[in-house]
Amino acid sequence: MDWAPIEEKWRQKWLAEKQFESNPDSRKKFFVTVAYPYPNSPQHIGHGRTYTLADVHARFMRMQGYNVLFPMGFHYTGTPILGMARRVQENDKDLIEAFRTLYKVPDEKIREFSDPVKIADYFHQEIKAGMIEMGYSIDWRREFTTIDPFYNKFIEWQFKKLKENGLVVQGTHPVGWCPKDQNPVSQHDTLGDVEPSFTEYTIIKFKYNNYVLPTATLRPETIFGVTNIWMNPNVNYEIAKVDNEEWIITSECATKLGFLNKKVTKTGIMPGAQLVGKKVKVPGRDDEIFILPATFVKSDNGTGVVMSVPAHAPFDYQALEDLKKETSKYANLPSSLSEIRPISIIETEGYGEIPARDVIEKLGITSQDSPKLEEATKELYSKEFYGGKLKQNTGKFSQKSVTVAKEEVKRWILDSGNADILYELNENPVRCRCGAECVVKLLDNQWFLNYSNPEWKEKVHSWINEMRILPEEIRNEFNHVVDWLKERACARQHGLGTKLPWDKNWIVESLSDSVIYMAYYTIVKYVKSGEIKPEYISDSFFDYVFLEKGDLQKVSSESKISPENLESIKKEFQYYYPVNARHSGRDLVPNHLTFFIFNHLAIFPRKYWPEEIVVNGSVLMDGKKMSKSMGNIIPLRDAIKIHGADSIRLAILVSAELLQDADFNQEAVRGIKNKLEGMLDEATRYNDTKETALAQEDRWIYSRLQQLIAKTTTSIQKMRLREALHYVLYEFDTDLQWYLKRIEAKGRKDHLGILHKVFSARVAMMSPFAPYVSEELWSRLGNQGLASESQWPLPDEAKIDLLALQSESLLSRTIEDIRNIVKVTKMSPKKITIYTASTWKVRAYQKILSTVISGDVNIGNIIKSLISDKETEEIKKDPDFVKKTVNDILSDPQDDRDAKNKIGLVDETKILSELESLIKTEYGIGLQVFSESDQNKYDPKNKAKTARPYKPAILIE
RNA sequence: GCGGGAGUUGCCAAGCCUGGUCAAAGGCGCAGGGCUUAGGACCCUGUCUUUUAGGAGUUCGUGGGUUCAAAUCCCACCUCCCGCACCA
């Protein structure tokens, strides 16, 4: 079936009605937003999830009578698009091929892609078209991009506010860096998508004459166990002036230091071999140690100078042992070499005096070139770090745990001026996409948002605990994010975006210019309509509109907006703010969503803080993660062409609850499509005829409908959309089937009006989920207006007929029992007789029921109280009845128990006579119903006595 | 390592907060039947084991515990997934 014409038809209708365009009016408002997309590729099915959830939310609230605003913008800010443009300039074959085949971008467009804005513009329109096709009920008059002049003004205002509040700070920060691009690199900027992670090393300065021999170490606390220095005799070291000291280091190290803001000037060469046998002074310790040769020292790692702690470092221990055995290999070795002993400074459970030796022996290592030394080092490091304690010979650090001492010793040497910090990439080499080898650079004068600020954190914590967060499980995660959040760089030197107002060399970073823009949606339409002219806008405008600060006349003349217009702009903001619900994928919890809260709290007064966050999981494709390499990314617009928008919406929503990953698979979509087609057929069968007197089954289906409406409404309110869909789409089918079975058995023809009502309510409830097909169904049913504009069905308590509900359930359960018996006995029934329980049992049942409802399930107690009552003393004859009845009651849902208690005594014999038509249809035979207490009953097998209330005895012959 | 989450009957996936509705929804798959020229469409029935009377038995990662009663509460363990920053 071709959905496109149907979708197009209703899309035009919606457009004509302008029903998604929201303006302030007297109704209550509902402002729902989603994180806007970054237009560097077309969107795929996975992107559709969050938007679809938000759209359902918007459509639901609209039907509930709210004035709903659901806007959309486009986030141009950022570096990836810039990187893509550069690769196009460089004629990158892979990327251009991806544009052509994967994204199906026309060639003439690709040629324009050397301009990053063209890339963003292209995918912007692509994504927008997809959103419209998906039926999202967005107010497109409020669309914008983050490089629009007015948006720039807005972000400038935001940053000045943050700065005024002391939340923007300046500092120095190490980053992965491409020396060629002069820009920080992150994972997606590198070849092979390697994360350019790095580790901080402590440099400890040993003195040799006037030279500094800097050793880089991860374990500064082991300074107390140093016995010698290692240098590679085969390496030519550089003598370099580093700031005001003469350092001896490898040339690689000199380069690295340059990026760490050291002034490095190379002044000479010093062969490693020449230093062997010389003595150096140990900082903080009043003695000297030898420089010894070791080939395991690599010139590209650290400084090329290594401090040796043989007691705790397996490499050092092994190298020392090796050297003692081959003294003849090197010249200038000190004669006292053989007297050098490891100095043990850490005690750790499970290791002896010299832990390094223990590990080496355990792993059977015999040479410093053994690859197992890495493993040995790792093991010992971890054991000592988590379990080790410093010994007496470490002075004031004695008895401290290694975890603590490491930091304290580092601090102590740094403070004495004998240490420094070096950053080293964990994986070497990391290459930028441009091909250059990356380094670690210390960026100074970098701007940060101070998310460490304790008062700010505290405020955010308390709001997180107050606001609505769905699903509830994720609330903890937010609180933890707030805890570990530190200063965050908020500006970078390249990319699209807004310049930092007080330092035009910097551009506001993309996760910082996207935190309060929801406020911008409320007023942006006035730029398009011409009331706001960005060039006249300054901070006073935003102060006035958002914070109600300043003088109307003054702001009006400054901004060249008439006072009346300015007032209505302000009113519009005040009408829509705060955000009532923000939807997003869970990947944004540790960044965007948390920043969103932080920044709102920093800038806006409490009444404008966001009320609710709804977080959803991602989408899998046939159970697998979507990825380019797997080739299982389906562009959303392609999918719409194949399956139709509604089927995709339903498939994504019905497969998983909020936080779970939703699996999009072909079978599920096919099933949904069939279902929808079936409904389209069905809709033409019913018409809105007059209602005749209602039979029991009619009252029953109406009761079930009220329950369905109530359940569905509650589920949507909790954003349990999967559950809601489930009720509307599937669970109610079971009821309809039963109803039709009853109608058919009775040969009725007057039920179409009833089904019309039921079906119409169902279609209305489907409308937020599957808007197109719902409109089509709505019109085929002959209903007036649009489904999406109809009122959300209200459950009518008065239409819930408890007796009808219990009666029908008794019928279906009895039929079920009969089927069971037939199945087990494999007989073909000739005659069926049913016996209902005698009066004393019914009375006993009522008593037991109310006892159980009151919470007492003790069989003994119940029997005692029943016996003591004349009405039920017959229980003595059948004590087993109590146990069985209690079980019957316990296996009823709570609601049914209450209902049965409420309706009291029922005439089962009368109810069960309704079975006759059903039995006739199913087995083609007759049915007799007797009461157990009927003297003249037909009961050849003596079955009647097993009857219980709501559990009649059955005889099949 | 730190933090978050998950393990359910062939697959996917509800249930767990608030214990009895749970042999455990639903979808998919599979089997039988109906409809049909035919069908990948639709409808009905079944789908842990067992049972010639609607019953019984054993199951919800593993092992304990609490309780009249545990998929659900508590403890320990095993396994898996995700995030950890200058990046949208």
pTM for the whole structure: 0.86
pLDDT of residue A411: 87
Q: Which nucleotide is nearest to A674 (CA to C1')?
A: B41
Q: Which nucleotide is nearest to A655 (CA to C1')?
A: B13
Q: Which of residues 605-634 of A touch strand B (CB under 7 A)?
A: 623
pLDDT of residue A394: 87
Question: Does residue A447 carry a pLDDT above 70?
Answer: yes
Q: Which of residues 811-830 of A touch strand B (CB under 7 A)?
A: 814, 816-817, 819-821, 824-827
A199 touches strand B (CB under 7 A): no
How far, in Å, is the CA of A153 from the C1' of nucleotide B61? Answer: 56
pLDDT tens-place string over residues A304-338: 999 999 999 998 999 999 899 888 888 888 888 88
Q: CA of A673: how far to CAs of A667, A680, A737, in Å?
A: 10, 11, 20
A495 touches strand B (CB under 7 A): yes
Question: Does residue A62 carry a pLDDT above 90?
Answer: yes
Q: Which nucleotide is nearest to A952 (CA to C1')?
A: B54
Residue A285 gets the label, from left (phi > 0), alpha (psi -120 to 50) or beta, of: beta
The DSSP code for A838 is: P
Q: Are A73 and A513 in contact (CB under 8 A)?
A: no
Secondary structure of residue A241 in the 3-state scheme: strand
- C-alpha–C-alpha distance, residues A85 and A99, integer Å: 12
Q: Where are the alpha helices (DSSP H) in A355-448?
A: 355-363, 372-387, 402-415
Q: What is the mean pLDDT of residues A579-584?
A: 94
pLDDT of residue A317: 92
pLDDT of residue A188: 66
B15 C1': nearest CA residue: A723
How far, in Å, is the CA of A601 from the C1' of nucleotide B74? Answer: 39
pLDDT of residue A249: 94
A487 touches strand B (CB under 7 A): yes
Phi and psi torsions of A953, nearest 5°: -80, 150
Q: Which nucleotide is nearest to A659 (CA to C1')?
A: B5
Instruction: Give residue A858's pLDDT band: very low, low, confident or very high (50, 70, 90).
Output: confident
Q: Are A799 and A702 in contact (CB under 8 A)?
A: yes
Go through A871-904 and write b for each residue having 16 or more CB atoms within 10 A of its CB, e for each that does not.
Answer: ebebbeeeeebbeebbebbeebeeebbebbeeee
> The sheet that has A503-508: what strands, in order across it?
A491-492, A503-508, A499-500
> Which residue type does A511 have?
L
Q: CA of A946: how far to CAs of A881, A913, A933, A955, in Å?
A: 9, 19, 12, 11
pLDDT of residue A826: 80
Question: Does residue A543 carry a pLDDT above 80?
Answer: yes
Q: Which of residues 41-100 of A touch strand B (CB under 7 A)?
A: 75, 77-80
pLDDT tens-place string over residues A751-780: 888 999 999 999 999 999 999 999 999 999
Instruction: Give residue A816's pLDDT band: very low, low, confident or very high (50, 70, 90).
Output: confident
- C-alpha–C-alpha distance, residues A743 and A749, integer Å: 8
- C-alpha–C-alpha distance, residues A639 and A888, integer Å: 50
Q: Which of residues 842-881 of A touch strand B (CB under 7 A)?
A: 857
How far, in Å, is the CA of A874 from the C1' of nucleotide B3? Answer: 64
B52 C1': nearest CA residue: A825
- C-alpha–C-alpha distance, residues A395 and A605, integer Å: 54
- Residue A291 has, within 13 A of its CA and on its CB side, a CA count of 29
Q: Are A221 and A402 in contact (CB under 8 A)?
A: yes
- C-alpha–C-alpha distance, residues A519 and A509, integer Å: 19
pLDDT of residue A18: 92
Question: Does residue A646 carry a pLDDT above 90?
Answer: yes
Q: Are A175 and A441 in contact (CB under 8 A)?
A: yes
> The sheet that has A468-470: what strands, in order across it?
A67-69, A29-34, A581-585, A612-616, A468-470
For the four alpha carbons of A100, A106, A107 and A108, in that order, the dihedral sign comes to negative
How far, in Å, is the CA of A858 from the C1' of nucleotide B67? Answer: 14
What H or E segment, with its residue span, contains residue A686? none
Chain position carrying tokens 């006993």: A844
Q: What is the mean pLDDT of residues A650-657?
A: 87
Q: Which nucleotide is nearest to A734 (CA to C1')?
A: B26
A675 touches strand B (CB under 7 A): yes
Task: Give Cβ neighbours of residue A429 (< 8 Å, ≥ 6 apart).
Answer: A437, A438
Q: What is the mean pLDDT of residues A920-943?
A: 88
pLDDT of residue A828: 81
pLDDT tens-place string over residues A271-302: 999 999 999 999 877 889 999 998 888 888 88
Cα angle A546, A549, A553; round to 5? 105
DSSP states of A855-895 as a string? T---HHHHHHHHHTSGGGGGGGG-THHHHHHHHHHHTS-HH
Exposed, middle or buried, A422 (CB in 10 Å: 0-12/13-18/19+)?
buried
This complex has an ipTM of 0.91
What H or E segment, with its residue span, contains residue A240? strand A236-242
Nearest to A203 by CA among A189, A195, A214: A214
pLDDT over 90 for what percent of chain A?
48
Q: Which nucleotides of B are covered by protein (CB under 7 A)?
A: 2-6, 11-15, 17, 20-23, 25-29, 41-46, 51-55, 68, 83-88
Mean pLDDT is lowest, of A470-474, A558-562, A832-836, for: A470-474
Question: Does residue A67 carry a pLDDT above 90?
Answer: yes
pLDDT tens-place string over residues A74-124: 999 988 898 889 889 889 898 899 899 888 999 999 999 999 999 999 999
Q: What is the mean pLDDT of residues A646-657?
A: 88
- C-alpha–C-alpha distance, residues A31 and A20, integer Å: 12
Q: Strand runs (DSSP E) across A637-785, as ranges?
A: 662-664
pLDDT of residue A864: 81
pLDDT of residue A193: 67
Chain position carrying tokens 């029943």: A866
pLDDT of residue A45: 87
A452 touches strand B (CB under 7 A): no
Question: Does residue A618 carry a pLDDT above 90?
Answer: no
pLDDT tens-place string over residues A171-183: 888 888 888 878 7
pLDDT tens-place string over residues A191-218: 766 777 788 889 999 999 899 999 998 8
Q: What is the mean pLDDT of residues A578-602?
A: 93
A178 touches strand B (CB under 7 A): no
pLDDT of residue A622: 79
Chain position carrying tokens 């109803």: A739
pLDDT of residue A699: 93
Question: Does residue A686 carry a pLDDT above 90?
Answer: no
pLDDT of residue A432: 81
Q: Which of residues 6-45 of A touch strand B (CB under 7 A)?
A: 38, 40
Q: Which nucleotide is nearest to A448 (CA to C1')?
A: B86
Q: Which nucleotide is nearest to A856 (CA to C1')?
A: B68
